[in-house]
Chains A and B, each alone.
Chain A
Amino acid sequence: MRKMPGYILPMLLAVLCPILLFAQVMVTGSVNDTKNSPVPGASVKLRNTLLGTVTDATGRFALNIPAATGELEISSIGYKTQVVNLATANLSALSIQLSEDIGRLDEVVVTGLATNVKRRNLANAIATVSSKDLAGTAPAQTLDAALNGKIPGAYINSNSGAPGGGISVRLRGVTSIFGNTQPLYVVDGVFIDNSSVPGGLNVVTAAGAAGNTSNQDNPSSRIADLRPEDIESIEILKGASAAAIYGSKAAAGVVIIATKRGKQGKTRFNFSQDLGFVKARKLLGAREFTEERVANSPQGWDLDEYKAAVAAGRIYDYEKEIYGETGLTRNSAFSMTGGSDRTSFYFAAAQKNEEGIIQRTGYRNNSIRLNLDHRITDNIKIGFSSNYINSSADRGLTQNDNAGVTFGVALSSTPGFTDLHPDANGNYPRNPYGASNPIETRDLMTNNEKVNRFVTGINLDAILLKTDKTTTRLIARGGVDYYNLKTNALFPSSLQFQQVAKGTSIQGFANNLNTNYILSLVNNYNLSDNLAFTTSMGLTQEKRDFDNLLNVATQVISGQSNVDQAGSLSASQFRNKNKDDGLFLQEEVTLYDAITVNAGMRIDKSTNNGDPDKYYAYPKASLSWNITRLGMPENTFVDNLKLRVAYGEAGNFPAFGSKFSSLLVSNIEGLPGSLVSTQRGNSLIEPERQTELEGGFDFTILNNRLSLEFSMYRKVVKDFLLQRSISTSSGFSTEWVNAGDLRNKGIEIGLNALVLSQSTIRWNSTVNFWKNRSKVTRLDIPPTVLGAFGNSLGTFKIEEGASATQIVGIDQGGVKKLGDQEPDFQMNFWNELVFFKNLSLRFLLHWKEGGDNINLTELLTDLGGTSPDYDADDNKNGKPDAEDRIDALGSTATIFVQDASYLRLREIALYYNFKVPGNLIKGLRIGVSANNFWTSTKYKSYDPEVSNFGSGFSTGVEVMPFPASKRASLHLSIDF
């Protein structure tokens, strides 16, 4: 047990003194923009206090304050902040005009665990995503999908089109190879879990049996549980220079999510309803058969069956039958917000129900949120956030397998002239050309994930001491993220591939409890108007307790799914627990509100490290200089110019259990056996450490109409964790080591422009460009091949001097580099056009140039004789192209490594705001939107965004995925 730092108590006691609640003065007024349109939702705050309110729909506000002194600060995202001195103002009719702020310079960005600065003084390029960006255009199915294409510096990749999400987010290049590559998600101060829990489908698909032991179960990521509609804003700390204060959890970046809070004033209601559909983005098509092709097939197809099928006119397109469904989607939400001057609330209840592009797949999400804020006294504010989520995803059976049971693998060898449809009695024919009948599998199997989740956070903000010059606050945040995940995979005994197992029921139960707190003291000290200090210090703790029980029952009694209704039952349990403690100290100095110097240190220890008591230190420092405020003569051209540089370090803990050499259970005939694990323990394992140096400049010109943000970074991951292959003659196959260093370098350029600003049309445009290059600069072990299916099919290889994401394979008698998964660059182009104030058109284009995938889908359809272009002869050698490709198998892997560039219209939407007469309905909005409706790519398979191995290091490997989809919706939203 550690001691409570000695200074906390006296400081708490100091709260007693300054709290005096006497006279009350009412301030009222209105807030308008430069066109004299009201600004609703603007924040009105008395500086250096917790007192504040927001404007209503007509831009009006009323606020009780203790005395007619001090400064009132009025701010709203997209506008410059205004400060009004109350001593000289007309308190009963304040009229405030906010001017536009295209560079978002006055936006407040969270930079510490308890502190924030204005973007104007920020030293990092921190991406923010507002609720409008997130869900206001064309809502995606899940939160992770909604981020795609919107964050400069990020490589976001959809693992598959399966309902319920599953997305890999990589910020500024690959930050870890075998460690965690996914950012930390913090929602209202609660560190939430984003793991993927596999459902044990390997038992049926045997995908882990040959080639690769990675999890190929296609699980969703748990961040998908959060509803994007509940989110107010997201900040993305992309690397250690911004995220160092999160210490050893921050190496992959931090995504800070703030949910919507209550607003003081009349209770407002909103009801919104979306209706839409989802369809496969692309189908590959079916091969055309002729008698000659069937007769000469290497698969030994039955010519008589083909002739009979042609005679009867029964040639099926099974790909279309399986993947060609149109799924209906609906999303209903009700929210209510309001409050008094002390207490405010935000309540939302919502349900989303979406069908997939495969029958019997789909996603459902029910969510209830209550966010409550209460001001206990003028100096103490407490906020609660609570969210209950119930979600269910039916994900079908797709991706790699070694048993011929997934839809895709079965389709690859099934020609359209064989009949797989059930007879009148519901009996499915056996597929003579595959191990399973995909129609039967689809109709009878179940692969469901159900989640019940509670996320609750508390946020306490107390002003302990306040004088003219200094304010000391205690900020305590913390919370609980608990979920229960039930996976249900059911394969009835009548299935073609269940003749040996006689029915399989795989029931998984996972419980996860994350708890964390951050206690901090923050002192603001304004020595003079030109010199201010912000000091913060505190302690943190994060705990995780994960328990996963997987039951596999075979010989299941007909029609039953309970695991006891079975002839055979095997269970496995996996637990994972860690406790991490940290201390931090941060000092920020602001000179003339123009130069900001920030330095901080975090020290961390974790039970996952080889030595659980050893503290690791993660320092950071940054400097930003706003030249227009200091150093540059007043001018009319440049509104704002800032130079900035930041440095920071962050870490990534070793995986749980990497220090142990264990023995696993291995039973035979009911005798309990212990068999040594294939993973060798390493008692010396240490966290990997990332150091990042970032620099750049931002400027805003043309009367705030054009702003540009330019950043460069150099990010070095030292002692990266690698599960290296060791000589298997040792009895072990892998061992965790701190294997070497790798480096990411990149640039990010963002341009915001208010292209047109007239009363009839207003056009806002954003263009971002970003690129990243990685290189392994040191490797203490021999080059390591990992992440795919070996040299003959193309694989990743970690090699000194080479890109960390290079793809190698056999070619011309040797093994050489064939591609790289890293894109050459990415760009996005976001536009919002508003006509006559009420009609708005928004769209987002996303361009990924370069970056290769390993496409093995084509190989399987070639081998199965079903590729749509099987008989094409592009090289004019008189032989079908597919056979050329098959001939290349074993001598070159170049054909599998394919360019996955794309230009995609991710979102487009048209909305109209109606003015409804009368008092009842305050606003009515109708819109139509589409996601991923248009894509230009040369990639041959379903979609360039794909990952057979889920969210880890090796994205971009494709083996018969759940095809990606496109969606369109109608939206109706009513405020009353």
Chain B
Amino acid sequence: MKKIIFAIISGLAVMVLSPSCKKEIGNLNNPTIEDFLENATKPELNNLVTGIESGMRNNLAMYLDVVGLIGREMYRFTAADPRYLSDLLGAKTATLDNNTFYLTNPWASRYRVVKNCNILIEAATNSGLLTDDEKKGYTGFAKTIKAYQLLLNLNLTHSNGIRVEVADPDNLGPVLAYKPSLAAIKSLLDEGQTELGGASVAFSLTSGFTGFNDNASLVAFNRAIYARVAAYDEDWAGVLTSLDNSFMDMDADLGLGIYHVFSTASGDILNPAFVRQNEAGEVRVAHPSYATDLQPGDDRIGKATLRNSPVSSSDLTSNRDVWVYTSATAPVPLIRNEELILLYAEAKIRQGAAGFNDAVEAINTIRNAHNLTPYSGPLTSTALIDEVLYNRRYSLFFEGHRWVDMRRYNRLAQLPKDRAEDDVWEMFPLPLTE
């Protein structure tokens, strides 16, 4: 009998005594923000830098699709979601929704990177393990990228605005109108420029930043972005000054610039904007006007290759594939020399007749590179701007510009509507959650 009692007691004791005394289990799967904000080490800060670079690619393809569709550059055909061709093209009575993936996904992804930039700024500032110059490297980089990400969202919502002060989730800053948003982005870029100027870069960047990974060249990158923002702000002097300090080079490769890169390395992603030629079902095809509006001989026809057979969906048809990103690891530019040269031409034109010759010279750099004869049109502001927009359309095809450019020049009405009741939207509403 004693044996049984002993067995029972010891059995129960094993059950009750087995729990450990540890009360809090903690986060088993990943670090928390708080881990970074206390005296972060360089490797930790570098992880944040890489997270920023990586995170910029989230929903990038969707952004390109959305801007490309509304700007009538291309069509995105998919059997799985009808709203690319209904809402975005304004089919019949369809309108843009303020709580649907085509807006909310890219918008949230950009602000997620902004958040990472803000964490990096705070973590670097709090860290006692860095020199002041190293801190400036992190904060200058973070501010530059933050400004760029904010600009992409402003491109979507335009005069519906964006929030710029978003570091404290409990106390978000106001939604700024278009012009104040641009001003805030510019001042962020200026802060970034100052900090990067005296910085010591203690972090590694990917091959997308080849040639732009020390403080001087990161300043040049910062100024290139600034030039784009200044152009949107119609601050033409600002465009030219910043281009001077950027990497614009009439003699260099037009592709010189900074890129989002993709690889098959562990945890990395492939270029989601890449589709093989002649696919069916899930395709990106060029808008039919791409080929018809192109000047004879323009080699940029290579960005929209002829398909074996046309493809249709919802009464839309195209016989050309978008062929800008030609492999699953093809990079997507943030900004590159070709755009800077065209920004230079645009600013020169907008500053008046005195700059027309400089502008033509820049335009011809682009035209020559694309197998076209030098510009021979009239030397008027209107004609030259037409020419700049033509070149921006084809040089920056499916890089997210056409819609923004046509809007800047109030030319959205010129974009073709393929179906009788389609609409060309001017801007997205502010997302519902804002």
Contact = CB atoms under 8 A, between A and B. Distances in A.
A298 B312 contact: yes
A887 B8 CA distance: 73
A674 B51 contact: yes
Interface stretch (A60-68, A240-248, A661-669, A913-921): A661-669
Nearest to B119: A676
A424 interface: no
Given A1-B17, A681-B32, A666 B54 contact: yes
B311 A300 contact: yes
A372 to B, nearest CB: 16
Given A663-B33, A727-B172, A729-B166, A792 B25 contact: no
Given A430-B280, A435-B280, A476-B15, A577 B268 contact: no
B57 interface: yes
Given A570-B267, A730-B169, A402 B12 contact: no
B93 interface: yes
Interface centre among B47, B270, B274 (most CB of A within 10 A): B47
Interface stretch (B73-81, B135-143, B350-358): B73-81
Contacts of A581: 19
B36 A499 contact: no
Contact of B100 (A413, A728, A790, A891): A790
Contacts of B57: 668
Given A12-B5, A16-B5, A731 B54 contact: no
A891 B25 contact: no
A19 B3 CA distance: 14
A410 interface: yes
A579 B22 CA distance: 10
Contacts of A573: 29
Contact of B29 (A403, A578, A662): A662
B214 interface: no
B188 to A, nearest CB: 15
Contacts of B207: 669
A674 B102 CA distance: 25
Interface in B159-173: 162-163, 166, 169, 172
B376 interface: no
Interface stretch (A137-145, A857-865, A962-970): A857-865
B101 A210 contact: yes
B410 interface: no
B79 A409 contact: yes
A859 B280 CA distance: 20
**Size bracket, chain A contacts:** 35 or more
Contact of A404 (B113, B116, B169, B282): B282
B99 A730 contact: no
Contact of A674 (B48, B204, B313, B314): B48
A577 B28 contact: yes
Given A667-B267, A670-B265, A403 B274 contact: no
A620 B23 CA distance: 28
A66 to B, nearest CB: 16
Given A404-B80, A663-B31, A731-B111, A607 B4 contact: no
Contacts, number: 330
A859 B82 contact: yes
Contact of B266 (A571, A575, A864): A571
A519 interface: yes
A4 interface: yes
Contacts of B81: 210-211, 402
A567 interface: yes
Contacts of B25: 577-579, 607, 612
B50 interface: yes
Interface in B309-342: 309-315, 317, 328
Contact of B19 (A541, A575, A681): A541
B91 interface: yes
B19 A579 contact: yes
A298 B313 contact: yes
A867 interface: no
B310 A400 contact: no
B99 A785 contact: yes
B105 A662 contact: no
A568 B265 contact: yes
Interface in A171-227: 209-211
Given A403-B80, A435-B79, A676-B112, A12 B48 contact: no
A938 to B, nearest CB: 24
B184 interface: no
Interface in A422-438: 430-436
B32 A729 contact: no
Nearest to A677: B30
Contacts of A912: none
Given A574-B29, A613-B23, A671 B206 contact: yes
Nearest to A434: B281
Nearest to B55: A675
Nearest to B87: A890
B420 interface: no
A673 B79 contact: no
Given A404-B281, A413-B79, A670-B268, A298 B315 contact: yes
Q: A13, A402, A517, A728 — which one has the most chain B CB atoms within 10 A of its CB?
A: A728
Contacts of A410: 79, 281
A667 B50 contact: yes
Contact of B112 (A403, A462, A731, A859): A731
B1 to A, nearest CB: 6
A299 B116 contact: no
Nearest to B53: A668
B118 interface: yes
A726 interface: yes
Given A376-B4, A435-B282, A567-B264, A500 B172 contact: no
B7 to A, nearest CB: 9
A931 to B, nearest CB: 32
A281 interface: no
Contacts of A2: 16
Contacts of B87: 792, 890
Contacts of A501: 270, 328
A390 interface: no
A303 to B, nearest CB: 12
Contact of B32 (A413, A578, A660, A668): A660
A396 interface: no
Interface in B202-228: 204, 206-208
A175 to B, nearest CB: 25
B156 to A, nearest CB: 12
A401 interface: yes
A731 B309 contact: no
B293 interface: no
Interface string B169-189: 100100000000000000000
Contacts of A568: 264-266, 268
A478 interface: yes
Contacts of A578: 25
A663 B163 CA distance: 23
A674 B266 CA distance: 14
Interface in A24-39: none
Interface string B85-113: 01100011111010111101101100111
Contact of B30 (A380, A409, A663): A663
Given A731-B115, A887-B92, 12 more contacts: A211-B100, A298-B313, A300-B310, A300-B313, A576-B28, A613-B23, A667-B268, A674-B30, A674-B50, A677-B30, A863-B82, A863-B313
Interface of A: 1-2, 4, 8-9, 12-13, 15-16, 19, 209-211, 297-302, 376-377, 380, 400-404, 409-410, 412-413, 430-436, 460, 462, 474, 476, 478, 497, 499-501, 517, 519, 539, 541, 543, 554-555, 567-571, 573-579, 581, 607, 612-613, 657, 660-678, 680-681, 725-733, 785, 790-792, 810, 859-860, 863-864, 886-887, 889-891
Q: Which 4 A-B pairs have the closest CB atoms?
A: A731-B115, A300-B312, A890-B94, A435-B281
12 contacts: A13-B5, A211-B101, A300-B312, A404-B78, A409-B79, A431-B281, A663-B47, A674-B50, A727-B172, A791-B97, A886-B314, A889-B82
